[in-house]
Amino acid sequence: MAYTSDLRVKNLIKSIHLDVIEDLTKLGVENNLHLRIFDESKEDSLPWEKGGLTFKDTRVDLTLGSNDAGWYIEKEGKIVPLVIVEGTFGTERGQFGDGQLNRFSHALGPAINGCIGVLFCPFKGESFVKTPEEDFHFKIQYAHLRKDIVKAALKITKVEKGFYFTIDTYNPEILKDLVLNSYLENIGEKNTLNEIKTKIITKMEKFVEGTKRGYSNQILEKVYLENGTISEKYTGRMFTHNIAALTTSQKRDGHGLLGKNLIETYLIETEMLLCIFIRLSKENIDLLKTRRSKEFTYLLNNPMIKVLCFDDLLFDDADIKEKLSSLREENLLMNSQKSFIKELKQLFEEGKIRIKE
C-alpha cells in the first residue's frame, strides 16, 4: 500500500498527540483531552456533531471540506472542539499553484464556528518534476505555500469567531504547544495560549511580509456596469471553467473553485465578489443548480458572492464575443488561450466588456 500524503499527515498528528499526553503527565494535569482521527476518509466527511470532522458555514447552513483530525474535550456533557487540523504534504507532491486551494475551505469551517482551524503544510516543499531533456530524468523543484492562503487566513482570524492558522509540518512543536495550551486554558490551568497564538500569527505575517495582493489574468481591478460606470460594490474575477470541467468525473474542479472564491471573499476590499464564468451560459448555470454539487451550491448561497456567466455580459466588440463563445468546449490545457484571457481582462477594465444589471 502506498504511503499517501493523508496517511503521513495522520501519523504525524498521532505522534504529536502522544507528545501532548506526555507533557500533561509531566505537569501533573489530568488528561481529558481526546483526539478524533480516522484512517479512512469516509468517516472524516461526517458532520462534527455526528462524530466526523466536517463543519458547516453557519451563515449559509452548508458544509465545508472535511478535516484530518481534531482535539476536543467533554465539558458539561458536551463535546467541545479545540483544535481542528487539515493536513497536507501537497507542496511536496507537485502542488505549485491552484492545487493548494483545494484544502483551503477545510480549516475555515472550524474558524467560522469559533474554534481553532489549522492548515498543517510544509511552507517550502520539495517536489520531483520531470525535465524535458530525457524521458526519465527528474529534478527537485521547490513549492512554497501560497501567500494568498496565508493572507486570507490572517483576515479570517481577524473577522471570524475563531482562528485560522497555517503551521509548517516541519515545525510540529508549534502545533503541539497550541493543542497543549488550548487544553490547559479550557480546563482553567495556567497556560501560554495567547503567547502561542501571537507567535503563530507573527510567523504568518512574516511569511507574507512585503508581498502585494498578487497579479492574475483573472482578477479584475475594475468592473463596469451596463450604464458605463465603474462599480464600487463589486470586485470581479473571471473563471475559465467550461461545463465539462464542473460536471464530468475526470475534470470536476469544484473543490478548487470553492477555494479560489472563498479566498477572494476575504481578500477583496469591496462589498461583494463577482464570480464571472466567461465560458458558461445561463443554461449551464441552471444545470449546475439542479445537480446541487456542494461547491457550486455554496457559491450560489454565499451572501458575498454573485455568480454571473457569458449571458450576463455586454460586449462592444462582436468579434471578441464570437471568439469567446467559440471556446466554450475547448480544452484550455491542450489549447492555451492565455493571451486572449489577458486581452479579456484588459477589455473588462477598459469598460469594453460590461456587466448587465
pLDDT of residue 98: 67
pLDDT of residue 329: 82
Of the listed ranges 35-44, 72-81, 88-97, 138-147, the one predicted with least confidence: 88-97
Asked if residue 175 has pLDDT above 90, the reply is: yes
Domain ranges of the chain: 5-208, 219-355
pLDDT digits (tens, 9 = 90+) for 118-141: 999 999 877 766 666 656 566 777
Q: Indicate whether 338 pLDDT > 70.
A: yes
Mean of all residue pLDDT scores within the chain:
88
- pLDDT for the residue numbered 4: 65
Q: Classify the C-alpha dihedral 323-325-329-334 as positive or negative.
A: positive
Position 322 scores a pLDDT of 95
The pLDDT assigned to 94 comes to 65
Of 10-14, 74-78, 332-336, which gets the smallest average pLDDT? 332-336
Report residue 212's pLDDT band, with 50, 70 and 90 as the boundaries.
low
264-273: pLDDT as tens digits: 999 998 999 9
Q: Give the span between the Cα atoms of 102 and 56, in whole angstroms.
A: 17
pLDDT, position 135: 62
